[in-house]
Amino acid sequence: MSHGPVVHVVVAGEVGGAERMLVDLVRAQTARRHTVALFTPSERLRALFVDAGLDVDERSPVRETPLSYLARSLGPRDAAWLAAVLTKRDAAIAHLHTFGSQVVGTRAARRVGAKVVRTEHSTRVYDDPSCWPFSRWSLTRADAVVCISSHVSRVALAKAPWVAPWVHVVTNGVDTVHFAPRPNEPRTALASSEVVTGGGAAGGVVAARSVRFVSLGRLDPRKGLDVALEALALVPHAELDIVGDGEQRTALGARAKQLGVDGRVRFVGYVGDVRNAVESADIALSSARAEGLGVALLEAMAMGKPVVALPTGGIPEIVTDGDTGWLAHGHSASALARAMQDAIDHPEEVRRRGGRAHDAVTDRFSVAVMARAYERIYDSL
């Protein structure tokens, strides 16, 4: 049993759900000391941890390229630096959160005799042939492997059945105090009959109720935002806020214009605190092609927003069709559009399912529930 300090190892180029989950986990853990060893070129990610009050040891300068990954994973310098951090922090456990951290983190931990915990935030390392050889090497040397959903666990075990004895499923949690409903600032679009001008498929005018959806997360192909735009073109009474940044920003803007929905889409960009963006919307939307769980959806649900989503990955484990949101019957844009339209047609269900979503997060997906589960895993090592 280990009661010693934990060093969380993060090698990443941007802020995502894994990094936000880590902030919440460290803040909630009081039984032992937690620090972060950070490899990043991103000032945004650095600020996330520092502004949250986390103790950070940072390796710099850092690049995020395939060649720099190979040098970091296989070369001597970064592993030696990380081993020195683990020694300085008297780490009993090295907790690895990103693909980039797996090899270098495992090498450093083995050098100083620390236990290795891996959290699998997605199925990427199991799906991508270029990642798997590196990830497999680390996996065989881990002391505990935590999957953020049963979906991720199933994928991991199908690829590496021998890892079963040390696999755990711990669903990510969110801070239900920080992400709480704001009853004094209700969104009123669902009860409104005003006309909103936009670039929709129905002649450019959105009549009757204009319902605002919000999509939260990185703008990359796995998030399927092109599918969301195609669905939006089929739902003329809908608007969409896309909150986040990434490689697809330019392409998505062009696609929105091509589909004639650019007047009903707002590209908000990256924001450090998404609560205002969530509050200004009626419904959270997910069009992801691949999703381990969906931290951003849990944040919106905690604020009382129901979800309309494709039934991707771990999403059906947190979104219950007919109770906390709408799951599309299929993975196409037309299937997503039908679910969006059903939500628009039933405003009373939006309010009811939003309340149920908040209750579900409070009961099952809070930071406190997540932190207790991780503490049990740490204690077992």
149 and 240 within one domain: no
Decide: 268 and 239 in contact? Cβ < 8 Å. Answer: no
The pair of structure tokens assigned to 60 is 């710099």
Q: What residue numbers bound the domain in which 33 lies?
A: 6-173+366-380
81 and 17 within one domain: yes
The pair of structure tokens assigned to 357 is 């979503």
What CATH number is attached to the domain comprising 67?
Answer: 3.40.50.2000
In a domain? residue 180: no
258 and 137 within one domain: no
Task: Tell whether omega for the bond before 61 is within 30 degrees of 0, i.e. cis.
Answer: yes
Dist. CA 282–CA 247, nearest whole Å: 27
105 and 85 within one domain: yes
pTM: 0.87
Q: Residue 31: its pLDDT value, please?
A: 82
223 and 127 within one domain: no
Q: Residue 239: its pLDDT value, please?
A: 97
165-203: buried (b, 16+ CB within 10 Å) or exposed (e) per residue? ebbbbbbbbbbbeebebeeeeebebbeeeeebebbbeee
In a domain? residue 84: yes
359 and 279 within one domain: yes
Dist. CA 111–CA 105, nearest whole Å: 10
H helix intervals, 264-322: 275-279, 295-302
Q: Which DSSP state fits 217?
A: S
Dist. CA 270–CA 44, nearest whole Å: 10
321 and 218 within one domain: yes
Q: Residue 38: its pLDDT value, please?
A: 97
Dist. CA 381–CA 369, nearest whole Å: 20
Decide: 124 and 151 in contact? Cβ < 8 Å. Answer: no
- Tell which residue, 362, 353, 296, has the closest CA to residue 16: 296
In a domain? residue 78: yes
H helix intervals, 42-149: 43-51, 66-74, 77-88, 99-112, 124-127, 132-139
Q: Residue 322: its pLDDT value, please?
A: 96
In a domain? residue 184: no
372 and 350 within one domain: no
218 and 160 within one domain: no
Dist. CA 104–CA 73, nearest whole Å: 5
In a domain? residue 223: yes
- Tell which residue, 203, 322, 200, has the closest CA to residue 261: 200
12 and 122 within one domain: yes
Q: Residue 16: its pLDDT value, please?
A: 84
Dist. CA 84–CA 144, nearest whole Å: 22
pLDDT along the chain (381 residues), means of 10: 85 88 90 94 93 95 90 96 98 97 98 98 94 97 97 97 96 94 60 38 47 94 96 96 93 97 95 93 96 93 98 96 97 98 96 96 94 95 93
Distances 24 to 41, 54, 57 between C-alpha atoms, Å: 22, 10, 18
In a domain? residue 182: no
In a domain? residue 181: no
Give the Cβ contact number of residue 343 at 10 Å.
25
376 and 336 within one domain: no
Helix (H, G, I), strand (E, B) or coil at 206: strand
35 and 132 within one domain: yes
Q: Please state the three-class secondary structure of 310-341 as a single string.
A: CCCCCHHHCCCECCCEEECCCCCHHHHHHHHH
The pair of structure tokens assigned to 202 is 């129905």
In a domain? residue 1: no
Q: Residue 347: its pLDDT value, please?
A: 94
The pair of structure tokens assigned to 197 is 């001008």
- Tell which residue, 69, 142, 129, 146, has the closest CA to residue 104: 69
Total domains, the chain: 2
Position of tokens 């991103």?
A: 42
